[in-house]
Amino acid sequence: MGADLATILPMMFALVLGVVCHEWAHGYVAWKLGDPTAMSEGRLTLNPIPHIDPFGTILMPAVLALTGAPVFGYAKPVPVVFHNLRNPLRDMVWVAAAGPAMNLALALGATLVLSLLNYLGVAGPTMISVWRLAQAVVVVNVVLAVFNLLPIPPLDGGRVAVGLLPHNLGAALAGIEPFGFFIVFGLLATGLLGVVMGPVMGTVLALLQLLI
């Protein structure tokens, strides 16, 4: 809360970019695999407004921030009717994986921008602003990718795991979906989420650092 605008604005831009592209990727892959629901409902767009969930994107994060609780939120999920997919069990994995894959692609693209800036030499306020923005895109999208790949339904990683596991195990994992967000918030509130995600994020960022 005490950060200055030079820190907040790039992070906010990176967060909006990452979340919108994440949701767009889900809808685009679903469309290519046979489900036109996201297309017909106007969700295949990079305009952030259709992706805003009044409760999950605005109200809940604001209340949590004002009360000093760990901040958690979500965008409006892109609608996917899995029965419309040509091979629902297999294609569910591709649709779910598309969002985190998009976040990793954005992080990689921003890393290449940082590499170019590093090669050219960062000088002047404009170049420094671009550097900060690219850094924010890298960090935010790595966080989004790793978080969404946690094997907890309804997170993307949970849906990927359900599709890849043997039927009995997949069905058992799918059964916890109604409680998934409570599990995630519990991990967040207890600090265990950082313990789980930290090493993975550190490894991904270290690999990207090798490109700079």
Contacting residues for 203 by C-beta, under 8 A, at least 6 apart: none
Contacting residues for 10 by C-beta, under 8 A, at least 6 apart: 129, 132, 133, 135, 136, 137
Helix pair 192-209, 180-190: axis angle to 10 deg = 80
How far is residue 118's CA from residue 21's CA, in Å, rounded to a whole number? 26
Q: Which amino acid is at 146?
A: V
Catalytic residues: 23
Contacting residues for 4 by C-beta, under 8 A, at least 6 apart: none
| Cis status, amide bond into 36, omega within 30 of 0 | no
User: How far is C-alpha 97 from the chain's CA centre?
Assistant: 11
Q: Where are the beta strands (DSSP E) in the chain?
A: none
How far is residue 51's CA from residue 19's CA, in Å, rounded to a whole number? 9
Q: Which amino acid is at 89?
A: L
